[in-house]
Amino acid sequence: MKKKARLFALALCVIMAAMVFTGCGEKKSALARIKESGELVMLTNAAFPPFEYLSSDNEVAGVDVEIAKAIAEEIGVQLKIVDMDFDGIITSIQSGKGDIGASGITATDERRKSVDFSINYVDAAQLIIVKADNTAINGPEDLDGKKVGAQSGTTGEVFLTDETQAEVYRFKTAADAAMELSNGKLDAVVVDELPAKQIVATYSGLKVLDVPLTEEQYAIAIAKGSDDLKEVVDKVIAELLESGKIDQWIEEHKVASGS
């Protein structure tokens, strides 16, 4: 019995020493974890053409998908896309439900409290959509007291609540808001420039005002402390910007998404 106990203790020591040597018990880096799982998980909200939308065969497509594919390829893993509500993406990245948030996400100081961001890859702005025959709303100063829609959790919503006295209505997608505008239940919708242009191309009787409300930059959201992942993401984006690929994808997906 005593011998057995001694043997057991010895075995335990050997195992523990092995664990120390292999770094077991240490937290794996984001990149090591992704490589081990064999997939890069992208969180997005596929209602934001040309950056992400559902293609005719119901696949998530768009500029952000192309970028994420390039990142997955660089790492050497498969890309897995999770389509979800936009207002849940940042917290889901924070809690580890996905590796990258690629969803036309504006890198804001507020969001930087919760996640890290890659380098910027697109300049953007919020624009106002109104009915084509509307002559009363010509800029943000005309939104006070009006019923204005935005996608929930977006910088468009933040702009409306912080910078105007509008009565703000929140929707799951900008297209849902545009539908209500079409039906005459809203006076205006605030949404990012390129999706705004796609919306007016889809719904007849709407127009976009040529007045940028904000200056924003899109970046990819990554969980804080994922430094080796961020390094790869930044490198891939820098190369894609340099080669003009991102501009090319924007043009291609404008056409493919019908804007």
Enumerate binding residues for ligand ARG (CB under 6 A): 44-45, 47-48, 52, 86, 103-106, 151, 154-155, 192
Q: Which is nearer to ligand ARG, 40 or 115 (CB)?
A: 115
Q: Which is nearer to ligand ARG, 187 or 192 (CB)?
A: 192
Q: Which is nearer to ligand ARG, 71 or 174 (CB)?
A: 174
Q: Which is nearer to ligand ARG, 31 or 50 (CB)?
A: 50
Q: What is the DSSP letter of 24?
A: T
Q: CA-CA distance, 221 to 99, in Å (whole number)?
A: 8
Three-class secondary structure assignment of 209-226: CCCCCCCEEECCEECCCC
**Shortest Å distance, C-beta 192 to ligand ARG:** 5
Q: CA-CA distance, 190 to 143, in Å (whole number)?
A: 10
**Shortest Å distance, C-beta 114 to ligand ARG:** 13
Q: Is 242 helix (H, G, I), strand (E, B) or coil?
A: helix
Q: Which is nearer to ligand ARG, 31 or 124 (CB)?
A: 124
116 and 220 Cβ atoms separated by less than 8 Å: no
Helices (H) and strands (E) in the chain, counts: 10, 14
180 and 169 Cβ atoms separated by less than 8 Å: yes
Q: Is 101 helix (H, G, I), strand (E, B) or coil?
A: strand
**Shortest Å distance, C-beta 42 to ligand ARG:** 11
Q: Which is nearer to ligand ARG, 44 or 226 (CB)?
A: 44
Residue 114, number of CB atoms within 10 A of its CB: 13
**Shortest Å distance, C-beta 151 to ligand ARG:** 6
57 and 79 Cβ atoms separated by less than 8 Å: no
**Shortest Å distance, C-beta 226 to ligand ARG:** 20
**Shortest Å distance, C-beta 155 to ligand ARG:** 4
